[in-house]
Structure 1
Amino acid sequence: MLKLILLSWILGIASMGSSLPLLFSIWPVLFILSLILVVLIQLKWVKTDFLAIKIVQVILFVSTAFSSGHYYADHALTKRLQFRETQPQQVEVVVYADRLSEFKEETVQQKVQVLGWHAKPVQWLLLMKSSGYQSPSSLQLGQYYRIQGRLKPAHSYATSGAFDQEKWWLQQNVMAGLRVDMIQPLTTEQVTALGFSAHQRQQQGWWMQFRLYIEQLRYGYREFIQHQPFVQKGLLLGLLTGDRSLLSAHTEAQFQRLGISHLLAISGPHVLIFALLVSWLLQRIIGRYRPQLYLKWPKVYVLMLPFLGAVLGYCAFVGFEIPALRTLLMSIVTVTVILLQQPLRSLSILLLSASILLLFDPWSVLSAAFWLSFGASFILLRIYQTLQQQPLGTEITGLQRFFQHFRLLVESQGKIFIALLPLVLIFFQQLSWIAPLANILTIPILAGVIVPLNIVSACLYLIWEPFGSLGFQITDHLLNLMMYLLNGMEHLFNPQLHRFAATPLIIVSLGLGMLLLFLPRGVVPKAWSALAIVPVFLGFTTHPQWTLHILDVGQGQAILLEDGQHKLMIDTGGYYREDKFSIGQQVVLPYLSRQGITQLQQLFLSHLDQDHSGALGAVLKGLPVQQILANEIVPDILPQQFQYCHAGQQWRFEHSQLRVLSPIYTDLAKVKSNRNEYSCVLYLQVTQAQGIQNFLIMGDAGWETEYQLLQRYPDLKVDVLVLGHHGSRHSSSYAFLQQLKPKLAVASVGWDNRYGHPSQELQARLRELGIPLLTTAQAGTLQFQLNEQEIKLRTHRQQWRWLQREPVADAVLRSGL
């Protein structure tokens, strides 16, 4: 029962951000009924021997635990959202630097406490330009500054599968970003004069001073390693402190391709290695100088507190990252169980540790590290339980013991790879098949040699720097050897990150299959796991019969149409530097993967501007496309794959028909002189729909094309208008809007874009004509879905509380969708 209650509590917190209004109304009733049932059971007025009572007890307790977890998570989320900034503006603030900065190429990022902005200090992320490591922009730890700059709230590409920056900042307790223009150090007297003397006194407390010392110590290690002639500086520092400032982008990408990125994070093994080293050293000292202590208390009791102290110290040293916290809590729970002389139940310890972590930090449930860390621990505990159940054998040789350990390593990595597959697909939508082999190669080297030597070298550095430097040099040579092996593996296997069509149904199917497979023997037949994953092989989907997706790709446009078995895209979006940040790789392909799309029959490019076609290369690399249509020849594609897009073309699909309205064929020769005006304008009609039925997609066409469309198609009916040129003031003229009178206008724009799209002039025209406006910046990805002859609209930002924007609901209601 306890396991079910803890699991329900965890799942309830995992529902953070989702809208479950029914739970809020019934939670008090469930809670009171659970208390009454507990009292009745304790008074023995209710007998739990009856099956019906047991069933009622389980349902009531599980429901109460889940709803309590959801209520607690929602309350914590509401409190944190109160301090989040949502509007960009120029600001001047006083900040206190208590966190180490991080360096990413030409940018310095540093978390700081912002004073006086709210009733209590809040954490912002400073974003500073830097030409190199020795940047004057980096703030000195323990100092106060006056900062001027532009407030930059978090804003994600609100598209399923894309990285959710708003969720990430919320989980990291970062309430806003700030692009720094000016930094002015403040003296103690100036800080006092500004009214922050209470904050100064607070920072003098022992805990704050300890945290500051830890950050300064981390900074000292980074400074030392940076200025030494080590080859693997980034790995040395990353494996010691978790700081990736010195890690090259090439190394990070290589670890991703090999599926071993998790080894760059500080995890449980790092913490345990340090704690075991401390315990071993203390044991040797006590055995030599105070062996009589073991006469008073058992050895395990003597070493418990030092072990926990070492775990706590290393967790603090690495900034209380989730995997380290998990190890700390599991250690505390295990020690408590031993002291209370209770039996050790591995799964109970795991669930209890996760529940306690979420009690103090419910936002950690939003992190991939939480699920992957506890998921891997679950598999390792299952393997440990299996080994415990095996009968003891006879004495074995050292070689036999080596092969046993190697077999255990292979088995554990294979099982972890299989079991965590659903989680990996949920969070990353891609994986590397070579990951188990790469882990088998690197984990023994890292956990058995490099990490312990790295930790010992760091300790020696504090005692006498030359010893520490020698240890780091040896570790650097070992890291060179490991990288040589990894380079050889890459050369031999040429690993790539493979993207999979991971629809929600497939992920749930995989998750259920893995759960059934790794449950203890005898609970359910293992063959059931094969039945659970049948949808994976049959490619089942749960999509409506017809869906039009207008993706949030920032300042650009990308549209997906699903009509039965026919899949096509209109534009791909594109970042102005796809080599630096790829809209195709980071937004479009993950979204297609979530929709279960493995190929496109057609891809229309309205024109070849970067914001409409820049991600084409990534899309073509990620999945096959049968036909590409554009108003001019697209470079680097096969001639038989290309066709000009011009007026008069039309296609009929299962539920809709698509027509090209512009440009006319004779104008194709003029395209290069004015790409925007000669954009491919597409008209989509859903033949079986009632109400909302007609969609007009304008590309970047402006007033001239609009005038020609009105002349050629005077009876054109439009229900949803995807505005030309992202809502520029030179498109969507008053006459055009007045004649079409769409029920909804959509602008595909980037949030806070430098062009001011959609323009104020356009918004004024729409208001005067009573046409509701939705933008991808405020609504995220829009999905128009046909269900039983009626089209309804879903917006991605309405699905999670941290993404929601109020004007979205009003626009949807006014449009009748």
Structure 2
Amino acid sequence: MVSRCTSDKNQPVSIFLKGENELKQPLVWSSLGWITGSLLCHWGWKSVSLYAGLAVGISVLGAWFFYQYRKGLLVTLFLVGLSVGAARYAYAEVNNHSAIAAVVGSNGETAAVITGEIVSRPQVDGDRLLFDIKVRQLADGRIRWRIPEEEIKVTVRLQNETEWLNAHQFQRYWKIETLVVLERPSPARNPGAFDYRAYLYRQQIHWLAKGESLDRVKILSADRDHLFVWMDRLREELGSQIERIYSPAYAGLIRGMLLGERERVDAEMEAAYSTLGIVHLLSISGLHVGVLVACLYFLLKQTGLTREKAALLVILALPFYVILTGAEAPVIRAAIMAGLSLLAVLFGRWKELLSFMALSLLIQLAWNPYQIFEPGFQLTFLVTGALIIGVEPIARQLPFPWHRLNQGIAVALVAQVVSFPVLIYHFYEFSFLSWFANLLFVPVISSLVIPVSTAALLLGFVHETAGRWLAGFSSLLLDLVHKGTDLLLEWSWAHVTWVPPTLLWVLLYSLAAIYLWISWAGNLIFPGRHRMLSGLCFICLVAVAHQAHLWGKDEARIAFLDVGQGDCTVIETPEGKVILVDGGGTPFFPRKPWQIRRDPFEVGKRIVVPYLKYRGIRQIDELVITHGDTDHIGGLLAVAERFPVRRVIRNPHPPGSQTEKRLLQTLAKKGTRIYTLSPGVSWEVEPGIKWKFFHPDPSRLIGTNEKSNNDSVVFLLSVFQMRIMMTGDMEREAESKVLSEWALPTVDLLKVAHHGSRTSTQAKWLQVLKPRQAIISVGRENRYGHPAPEVLQRLQAIGAAVLRTDRHGAVTVKIRPEGIRTETMLQP
């Protein structure tokens, strides 16, 4: 790199050099070493003594070398940070085990009576009471075991409205005793799915407990004077005040923004904001804490306090705000960052914000080293560090005459460039409108909505009418934001799914982003050429990620997803075409108002759509709806609302339920073509892939609108000479009809009909098809007894290898011209 003299317009030279100086700060190098050590320990040896010994040895050797030669300090700090970080991570791993497992075993479900103390804020979600408990005793039969305070998650099913009302009285630090069923958290059962077991492991939680009634919970004692209990009461009072001055449409959102009650925010609104990359606006994050800290600091300064005294008072107030808002990890992280920034002001070191950020990172990783794998943690520090280093140089290069506007644009651009790989790696989704949404809505929320809402809340205690007036103004602003988000969401082309990138791509992208920043902020010879080259490298890497779902596709992939008691199959061809066969579904049961949950489990939203995103799928070419049962179509509405569908193939029956009617209306509204096919229709999907339909015959239907299993769409898929029979929920009548009318070939793989019901998969059907593999899509411990023992016996008799989604999780079949390879998510 060669420097040269520049005019004032090229001021970024000094800023760039300043950024280089910032990177030489000791705490920055220590934090980088700590991160490196944590990752090395995660992927390698986990020996506390080894890493502790390295830390001591490197410290002594580095101190001697620096004393002798006045060199090597930063390298020493990096290596010491690496060793200490690895030792801390290894210590966490060695001690992250369950004492309960030694009593009840490692797997399966176990009934036990647990005694302990509630350590989280109890939440009522419809007919469930949720809280964490620190177990101190466990009774298994007649034996009572003492447990060294292991934390578990408890869900108590509320049986009636009286229990629902009583559940709202539960508080933290109550000591309780209750009968529960203990079970291990479920691992990810589908590719790309959220791994709940791994998530809880990082919180050192190894068990879930389920209680069947609040009547079985015995309250032993209640600590009503604990600081956290007082703050919980204060939060409830503040929440009630928000409910009084805001309309129901906005009260939950304001409670989420000001009090950290994310569970109060509407689930659909949260999903919409997440798509646009602005979900951080809906709950307490660094933005909210920063705004409130800035407002309080400004008000204290207006009273005549010095800068240092104002900063000190705000620092003292931060712990109470953390407790008030629930002391969740994002709030704690934001408060530590804000507090250390204020310390920088207090000690007159505000120019060393990067060092204080590094200190915040060290504190948090020392407390919980597993945070390094949390998306929120990664986004917080990557984006904050990039903003500290990168914004001002970029802002000075922008052509607009208003510096604030240049800064806002630079903030949005830097934040989006840095957050992009994190978002697509963890969430498989990124909107090209995210930068614009942040540029447009973040100033409104941070500069107007949060301060005005806070003022309305406080003013409401003094003069409720005045508080409602201010609340009305902030509601108007939020309404404008919502309309803006709705408008941006209509541009579906901009909201793209992405295959999670490889670590190599992340490394190359990071280097390209740094080169791009240097080419604009630095002082290079031939800057125009560097900007063009860096921009080209950056765009090429984004293009590679954008098309990653098509790269290296020399195989067809068929995924039988684990959707519980239902069916869903995703077929991807080598040329990138996507065939979706059914979409699972959750049975609907009428519920009373008190039983309705904030975000009830829905197969399409929780399983099918995340899998399609994970695979980078952006369009469904063919949607086969075998028949209209809820366990086959219930999840398709979420798919139809999220992805364009080119064509639908279904049986001839008219819609038999409101769910099916709504699905078909949604598809028709989006311009999807809907067809029914006659037996014998076939065509080539692409070279090497064909399918042929055998059933049903529109002129000779077997079933009825209410029971259409026997009119399920049945087809044979041929992929590179491999044959797969898809059967829906056909029963023996349909099997006999197909056998009598068609000379069926043997198949390599059979999707067993009707979840392995005894009314399907007759012996004659299997004798003709002779499948080598049989896939049964079935729910765990379902009430129907699927798969039937006689069906399993018939499959065993013909030598078929049976794979079941209840035991194996999702089953993925990869087909190449040379053969079939089958993978399962779980090992039974």
Q: Which TM-score bucket, shorter chain as reference? A: 0.7 to 0.9
Judging changes above 3 Å, is the alpha-carbon distance between structure 1 residues 570 and 286 closer, same or farther for their aligned structure 2 residues?
A: closer
Q: Is the 8 A contact 1:454 1:471 kept in 2?
A: no
State the distance in 2 between where 1:626 and 1:81 align.
52
CA distance in 1, matches of 2:78, 2:691: 51
* 2:171 is equivalent to residue 135 of structure 1: no
2:189 counterpart (154, 158, 161):
158
Q: 1:529 aligns with which of 538, 555, 577?
A: 538
> Could you tell me which residue of structure 2 aligns to residue 572 of structure 1?
583
The answer to whether the 8 A contact 1:633-1:642 is kept is: no
**2:474 aligned to 472, 475, 479, which one?**
479
**Contact 2:757 2:788 (8 Å CA) reproduced:** yes
1:417-459 residue CA offsets vs partner (Å, 9 max, x unmatched) = 343233333444445555545544544444335434555676x
Cα distance in 2 for partners of 1:788, 1:751 equals 34
Q: Say yes or no: does 1:644 pair with 2:677.
A: yes
2:239: which partner in 1? 222
3-state secondary structure, aligned to 1:420: helix
Residue identity opposite 2:618 in structure 1: T
Q: Aligned equivalents of 1:91 and 1:479: distance in 2? A: 50
> Which moves more between the two structures, 502-511 or 528-537?
502-511
Note if contact 2:176-2:217 (Cα within 8 Å) is conserved in structure 1. Answer: yes
Alignment counterpart, residue 289 of structure 2, candidates 246, 271, 294: 271
Aligned equivalents of 1:374 and 1:111: distance in 2?
28
Paired with 1:731 and 1:238, the residues of 2 have a C-alpha distance of: 50
Matched, 1:556 2:566: yes
Distance 1:631 1:501, change over 3 A: same
Match of 1:812 in 2: none
95-104 vs 57-66, which moves further = 57-66
- Check conservation: 1:93, 1:114, Cα contact below 8 A: yes
Conservation of the 8 A alpha-carbon contact between 2:232 and 2:324: yes
- Letter of the 2:326 partner, please give it: G
Query: 1:13, 1:73 within 8 Å by CA — same for their partners in 2?
Result: no
Identical aligned residues as a percent = 21
**Other structure's SS at 1:122 match:** strand
Amino acid in structure 1 at the alignment position of 2:316: G
Partner amino acid, structure 2, of 1:138: H
Q: Which amino acid aligns with 1:181?
A: S
Shift of 1:242: 0.9
Question: Secondary structure at 1:751's aligned position in 2?
Answer: coil
Of 514, 517, 522, 2:513 maps to 517
SS at 2:165 equivalent: coil
- RMSD over aligned CA atoms reads 5.1
Query: 484, 500, 504: which is aligned to 1:504?
Result: 500
CA–CA separation in structure 2 for the residues paired with 1:85 and 1:452: 50
Alpha-carbon distance, 1:243 to partner: 1.3
1:404 paired residue number: 403
| SS at 2:214 equivalent | strand
User: Superposition pairs for residues 167-186 of structure 1, below 5 Å?
Assistant: 167=198, 175-176=207-208, 178=210, 180-183=212-215, 186=218
Distance 1:490 1:255 in 2: 7
C-alpha distance in 2 between matches for 1:501 and 1:171? 27
2:385 matched to 1:378?
yes
Q: Which runs of 5+ in 2 are unaligned?
A: 1-23, 139-145, 525-529, 590-598, 656-663
SS of the equivalent of 1:607 reads coil
Separation (CA, whole Å) in 2 of partners of 1:80 and 1:515: 45
2:462 is aligned, of 460, 467, 475, to: 467
**Equivalence map 1:567-646=2 (5 Å):** 567-576=578-587, 582-632=602-652, 636=664, 641-644=674-677, 646=679
How far apart are the structure 1 equivalents of 2:87 and 2:219?
47
C-alpha separation in 2, matches of 1:67 and 1:644: 62
1:88 touches 1:151 (CA, 8 Å); kept in 2? yes
2: CA distance between counterparts of 1:601 and 1:445?
40
Give the alignment partner of residue 278 of structure 2, picking from 241, 250, 260.
260
Q: Give the alignment of 1:182-201 within 5 angstroms.
A: 182-183=214-215, 186=218, 188=220
In structure 2, the CA distance between the partners of 1:360 and 1:779, relative to structure 1 (3 Å rule), is farther
Q: Give the conservation status (yes or no) of the 8 Å contact 2:568–2:580.
A: yes
1:802 is matched with which residue? none
- Tell which deviates more after alignment, 64-73 or 95-104: 64-73
Contact 1:429 1:499 in 2 (8 A): no
Q: Please give the residue correspondences for 1:389-788 in structure 2 after superposition, counting only pairs within 5 Å.
A: 403-431=402-430, 435-452=434-451, 454-455=453-454, 466-467=461-462, 469=464, 472-473=467-468, 475-487=470-482, 489=484, 495=490, 499-505=495-501, 509=505, 512-513=508-509, 516-518=512-514, 521=518, 526-527=534-535, 528-536=537-545, 540-565=550-575, 566-576=577-587, 582-632=602-652, 636=664, 641-644=674-677, 646-647=679-680, 649=682, 651=684, 653-660=686-693, 662-663=695-696, 667-668=700-701, 672=705, 675-687=708-720, 693-706=722-735, 716-733=745-762, 742-760=771-789, 762-763=791-792, 772-786=801-815
Which amino acid is the alignment partner of residue 260 of structure 2? Answer: G
Deviations 1:55-110 (A, max 9, x none): 99999999978976875675566559969996567665556445434455666544
Change (3 A) 1:700 1:8: farther
Distance 2:450 2:364 in 1: 26
Q: 1:103 to 1:245 in 2, by over 3 A?
A: farther
**Which among 354, 359, 365 is matched to residue 361 of structure 2?**
354
Deviation at 1:792, TM superposition (A): 2.4
Secondary structure at the aligned position of 2:784 is classed as coil
SS of residue matched to 1:547: strand
The CA deviation at 1:775 is 2.5
1:266 positional shift: 0.9
Spell out the pairing of 1:231-250 with structure 2 (5 A cutoff). 232-244=250-262, 246-248=264-266
- Structure 1 593/258 Cα, relative in aligned 2: closer, same or farther at 3 Å? closer
Residues 34/186 of structure 1: CA separation in 2 closer, same or farther (3 Å cut)? closer
On the 8 A contact 2:569/2:581 being kept in 1, the answer is yes
Distance 1:365 1:387 in 2: 28
Which residues in structure 2 correspond to 1:804-815 (within 5 Å)? Answer: 805-807=826-828
**Partner SS for 1:479:** helix
Matches within 5 A, 1:273-422: 273-275=291-293, 300=308, 305-331=312-338, 345-383=352-390, 386=393, 403-422=402-421
Residue of structure 2 in register with 1:10 after alignment: 35
Secondary structure of the corresponding residue to residue 558 of structure 2: strand
Partner in structure 1 of residue 142 of structure 2: none
Secondary structure at 1:238 match in 2: helix
Residue range with higher mean Cα deviation, 86-95 or 40-49: 40-49
8 Å Cα contact 1:260-1:435 kept in structure 2: yes
Measured after TM superposition, the shift of residue 502 of structure 1 is 0.7
Cα distance in 1 for partners of 2:804, 2:96 equals 26
Deviation (angstroms), 1:719? 4.1
How many angstroms does 1:322 deviate by? 3.2
Distance 1:11 1:780 in 2: 34
Q: Deviations over 1:375-395 (max 9, x none)?
A: 4323321345538999xxxxx
**Matched residues in 1 for 2:68 and 2:730: separation?**
75
